[in-house]
Copies of this chain bind each other. A is one copy, B any other.
Amino acid sequence: MSRYRQRMSFRHPERDAIRVDAVLSALGNPVRLAAVRSLDKDGDRNCGNLLAEIGVSAKSTMTHHWRVLRDAGVIWQHQHGREYQLSVRREDLDARYPGLLDAILAGAARDEAA
């Protein structure tokens, strides 16, 4: 029996297939918005660490959230060893929708400070 797990790879939309309504819908949720803010601010993280950081304990809920963000083209989710690494698709989002992600993240920071 192999000691290597099967590599699980997720489908991600190409840059050109990203749609702004899907991006807005994905980020229009407090938990997903907090996750993307954290990833954007502090860099790539594996799922477990990010989960602990934003204080969500239900793994199944987060599995759903990662899928929504991935399908919308907001994050990459790739396997590294036994962990899933997450990162924001900054380059793709900035190329496709200049200023959008910055305006959203600045808005979230403003709401938090209020």
Interface mask (A15-41 → B, CB under 8 Å = 1, otherwise 0)? 010011111111111100100000000
Say whether A48 faces chain B, with CB atoms less than 8 Å apart. no
**Closest chain B residue to A114, Cβ basis:** B16
Q: For residue A106, which residues in chain B have a CB less than 8 angstroms away from its CB?
A: 97-98
- When the two chains form their complex, are residues A104 and B100 in contact, meaning their CB atoms are under 8 A apart? yes
Ordered by A's residue number, 24 sampled pairs between the chains whose C-beta atoms are within 8 Å are: A19-B111, A20-B33, A20-B108, A20-B110, A20-B111, A21-B28, A21-B33, A21-B111, A22-B28, A23-B107, A24-B24, A24-B27, A24-B28, A24-B33, A25-B25, A25-B28, A26-B28, A27-B28, A97-B103, A97-B107, A98-B103, A99-B102, A99-B103, A103-B103
